[in-house]
Amino acid sequence: MYKKVKLTDDEIRNLLQSSDNEFSGELSESSSHETEDVVMEIPDQVVSDSSELDESEQEIQPTRRRSRPKAQIEQLAKDMVASSSMIWKRSPYVNQRRRSVANVMRTSKGTKPGLKPDTSGKAFLMYFDDNILDNILMCTNQKLGNLRESSEDIFTKNSKAFEREKIVSAIGILFNCGVHRQNKDSLHDIFSKVNFPMYQASFSEHRLRLLLKCLRFDDALTQAARKQIDKFAPIRDIRNMIVCKFPEFYNPSESVTVNEELVTFHGRCPFGLYIPTKPGKYGIEVNLLCDSDTKYCFAADLYAGKNHNSGPEIVRRLIEMSNLKQSGRNVTMDIKFTTVPLASDLLKEKITKVGSIRSDKRDVPTELRPVSLKKILCQEQSDLPLVMMPL
């Protein structure tokens, strides 16, 4: 064990003379007027034998570790900066002991209190209330009145106005045909004697055919002006009245999901799409927000053009329609909808999100972007030594 002691030149000479030649060497003579401080490492025995040292001179000087270079420290603590001036940390934040405010649920999941529909008919009328049915009835009878004036068919001219119960019966027949996979059958086959007798008890074939021909959901007098601005104008009002009722009867679970769906449709539609990767390929695109546990739909937004149809705008509209602000839920979404500014905006509304982001976004720094295979192969080929082959 060695200790560090601060000695002068005269003290070193005295120690060397009394140490039985443990240290050899010649010391250069220095002037008596100039004294320099020298730091040496000597054994413990030499220090214990010297009685001429003062207590202040016998104090042990602490050793100093070599500090890490400053450039290396700054490199480890340096943050990643994206092209949009967004800062990314290299290490995650320390986990908090308390749950974050954005993950605290204000309402419990499940059906809201006071709602116990006994039959499927009562459950259906919760969404299609009297206001919606009256609006459909008014627009349908308006179309029937126009057909009476222009048609030469005796049955159409003598037809009476429709009633609300007939509208409900027609919707029930369409639902039942869809459940039993009869949606592609003709009306003549549906009203045959071998089919369900409820069809013939509710309608006649000609009366249902006329109703489906006159069925409208919007005022035809102002429809042409609104279609120039909105392609979805013929059904926009009824759709808003129905969709706004989705979050009124049920509370979502801890996690909800946002995704797109292509509803198969081969008819004439100004906003129809063709997506070859989908099973149906032709149809109408619908963006949905559903519960992850029960698959209950809370909001639906139809694609009716490129205007206001970017991924973050769709998510913001779905969140607003489903009344999930300040609810502490988590939203899982596809790469189409995920952006870093959207995550910041949802966190301010006490909503967290999970999703994958594209590496070519401006908010992603270059350190996190994957290197292409072509670039790696070019780098490996440049590192190979050149070899001259004889001809």
Contact 113, 140 (CB under 8 A): no
- Residue 74: inside a domain, yes or no? no
The number of helices, as runs of H, and strands, as runs of E, in the chain is 15, 12
The CATH number of the domain holding residue 108 is 3.30.420
Percentage with pLDDT > 70 across the chain: 75
pLDDT value of position 315: 92
pLDDT value of position 81: 83
- Residue 113: inside a domain, yes or no? yes
Indicate the number of domains in the chain: 3
Looking at the fold, whether 160 and 275 belong to one and the same domain comes out as no
Domain region containing 167? 130-214
**Residue range 317-336: average pLDDT?**
90
Tell whether the model's pLDDT for residue 384 goes beyond 60.
Answer: no
Tell whether the model's pLDDT for residue 383 goes beyond 60.
Answer: no
pLDDT value of position 233: 85
- Residue 175: inside a domain, yes or no? yes
**Residue range 202-214: average pLDDT?**
90
Contacts of 205-212 spanning 24+ positions with Cβ under 8 A: 206/155, 207/159, 208/170, 208/173, 210/144, 210/155, 210/156, 210/159, 211/140, 211/162, 211/166, 211/167, 211/170, 212/170
Alpha-carbon separation of residue 319 from 106, 296, 342 (angstroms): 16, 15, 12
Tell whether the model's pLDDT for residue 76 goes beyond 60.
Answer: no
Type of residue numbered 55: E
Per-residue pLDDT reduced to its tens digit, 259-297: 988 888 888 888 888 888 888 889 988 999 999 999 999
Looking at the fold, whether 137 and 112 belong to one and the same domain comes out as no
Looking at the fold, whether 258 and 207 belong to one and the same domain comes out as no
Percentage with pLDDT > 90 across the chain: 17
